[in-house]
Chain A
Amino acid sequence: MLTWLDQRTGLVTLTKDFLTEDVPGGASYWYAFGSATLFALILQIATGIFLCFFYAPSTSTAWESTDYLIKHVPAGALVLSLHYWGASAMIAFMTMHLLQGLLWGAYKKPRELQWIVGVLLFILTLVLGLTGYLLPWDLNALLASKVAIQIAGSAPILGPAILSFLQDGSGIGTLTINRFFGIHVWLVPALLVGLVGLHLAIFRWNGPAGPPIDEAPKLKPGRFWPDQMFMDTVLSFAMFVIVVALAVFAPAPFDAKADPNNTQFVPYPAWYFLALYALLDVVGKFPPAIVQISTLFATIIMPGVLVALLIVLPFIDRNPSRRPSRRPWILGITALTIVGAIGLSFFGQYNVVEGQVARGLVGGTAGNAATTGGSPQIETQPGNNANGGGATAGGPGSATAGATVYTTNCSSCHAANGQGTPSVAPPLAGNDVVTGDPQKVIGIVVNGLNGKITVKGQEWNGTMPPWKGTLTNKQIADVVTYIRSSWGNKAPPVTEADVAKAAGGK
């Protein structure tokens, strides 16, 4: 059977040839990081293909289809979480693989091009992490990606062009999701697979670099198959077990649907971007005179220079020795960068948690914000709604003041004329819930509303954010009074006491 196949295709010979490879000094778990990264890539492609069976990229379906995947598709939440944690595993192992190449001087002649292709793979994988972040279109997806897009747009010269490419001109909207989807699902994976092939082809041409000693090529060779392959498989298997365990016990976070007007949510970056996030925070506190240039430095110049240095490293570091003891400069700079990145990451994590505590939000922490599928991250603390307002408790709301509150907070969805926006928010004009029981309409403003409702014979399935904590009781009384007496609605005003009752009752 195999002979029959080989005679016609040569595939068996090719596979045998691929597997009979010398490993200088014998097999080692130290050489398994690259193959573990490759395994993570395969895991991501497999789970990603299945996610594509359910996901639909647009502002009106991205969150809904993800929500459906989590709640209704058998094992859907598990597949999503495998993809989520698989991404972390891929980046973690790839970082170790890169650091090892750096510390062991594996980029030196004749492996310069293999190194450069590797750095490109690293960048492309980070792009995957970044673009994948927007796709679920939940609060964190939108707000965290907004920061990332703004940073990309602040680059000198190319910034505006990048911004307009990522957003399609008109701000983060449905076409942005499509662009990110195209980049995340087709463009980068296609480049990645091609470059991985190149990385491996060059690897086979030069052979493994071996341990970081100058006599590595003279070491007694060990076998790739099955000795090294066994260790590669054991490491990949260990990674797989950890990823499955994380996916089962800490499902991917999924917040309420993206809402550009949400003023409460504290976005949290993926752990591998925490250092940059913290750096941005640090330079933001610099004196106003230098804050702009230092922000540019932190977000564009410094990461750009680091990446450029990594790419040209084989041509700068012409010291032929691979012994760490003879390369103090490279190792020193690497160590400093690692320590700095870890320190900044912890600081960034601390900031995220602080921000959430400061705003009275109870939630997970950035790195492991593992809210169970579907439940919103935001849980406003009960009794937190007095928020500086309501000195004259009990008075009726003012429709004039309410008009201002409405224009600022409500009109982007419910429209200035109260007619609503198709498939986003129902009309308030002629809506008998608005003009009916005051407790009911106040309750919706105070606590928000999720799920299916029928308004004037039409079905709606949007998300109304909760406004307590953002608006004072007085403001809520004003705006409810306003919507009950505008656009032909004729219902009596509501009082601040009504609002306090509705808010307290929940």
Chain B
Amino acid sequence: MAHAEAYKDPGTPEEQTRRTFMANAVLALGGVIGLGLAIPLVTSLIPPNDANADPWSPLTPDEIAALKKATDNKPVKVTFMLHESNGYFGAVDLEQFFWAIRADEATMRKKRPQLFEGIEKVPYPVVNLGFVVFSPICPHLGCKYTWTDSINKFACPCHGSQFTNVGEHVAGPALRGLDPLPLRDFQGKVQVEWIEYKQNTPDHIILKVG
């Protein structure tokens, strides 16, 4: 059938002006619709700010007993319950753990001076209650490393980073040593503060507290 018959006659100048207006109006109204839709849709993707109000997790008597088994040479693994919000499941207690050794401030300043001064400096006290507590997250790409008796080091299964008992980086691709976590005695209760640092950077950039 006949096609585009109407387009053969360019029309009067007045008609042409009118058509320019209509074409622009289509684009403008379309743009307003697109924006009006994009704003609520993109807004919905912003993570809701329902982060845990209290970043400190208490340790039970059993967990404190496990912590106390740490020596200054051999670290211990201590599990605890971390209170976390999990979308529409709400707040849940998830099992989490950290590694701990006994140490004093002078030893740590000697063995890991970068934690106290310079680019690797952490914004929290390193030694608390006579312990140093390490986040279980490998500072390379976030796998969970483990203490390996045969080499007397922490070793990460994913890419082979190794750390001494005080968390000093000695082998593998990690860019910094293990990250200490704050520990405190709050009104007679021992509590640990969960902090996640950005991985694969030499400095300590806080991503999440609690």
Contacts and interface: CB of A to CB of B under 8 A. Distances in A.
Interface of A: 20-23, 43, 46-47, 50, 53-54, 56, 61, 64-65, 67-69, 72-76, 78-79, 82, 206-207, 221-223, 225-227, 229-230, 233-234, 236-237, 240, 244, 452, 459, 461
Contact of B36 (A230, A233, A240): A240
The 5 lowest CB-CB distance pairs between A and B, nearest first, are A68-B88, A230-B22, A221-B6, A75-B43, A226-B22
A233 B28 CA distance: 10
B207 interface: no
Nearest to A227: B22
Interface residues of B, number: 32
B61 interface: no
B53 interface: no
B41 A225 contact: no
B3 interface: yes
A227 B3 contact: no
Given A72-B48, A223-B6, A240-B33, A233 B40 contact: no
Contacts of A20: 3-4, 7
B88 A53 contact: no
A207 B1 contact: yes
B105 interface: no
A475 B90 CA distance: 35
Nearest to A76: B44
Contacts of B40: 75, 78-79, 82
Contacts of A74: 43-44, 46, 48
B25 A23 contact: no
B43 to A, nearest CB: 4
B22 to A, nearest CB: 4
B87 A68 contact: yes
7 contacts: A22-B6, A75-B44, A221-B5, A227-B19, A229-B26, A233-B26, A234-B29
Nearest to B5: A221
A21 B4 CA distance: 5
A22 B4 contact: yes
A73 B48 contact: yes
B44 A50 contact: yes
A261 to B, nearest CB: 24
Contact of B37 (A46, A53, A67): A46
A50 B41 CA distance: 7
B30 A233 contact: yes
A69 B87 CA distance: 9
B50 interface: yes
Given A46-B37, A73-B48, A226-B22, A22 B3 contact: yes
Contacts of B48: 72-74
A61 B29 contact: no
B90 A22 contact: no
A226 B26 contact: yes
A47 B7 contact: no
B176 to A, nearest CB: 35
Contacts of B25: 230, 233-234
A43 B44 contact: no
Given A222-B6, A233-B29, A43 B37 contact: yes
B45 interface: yes
A68 B48 CA distance: 10
A56 B1 contact: no
B32 interface: yes
Contacts of A229: 22, 26
Contacts of B151: none
Contacts of A68: 87-88
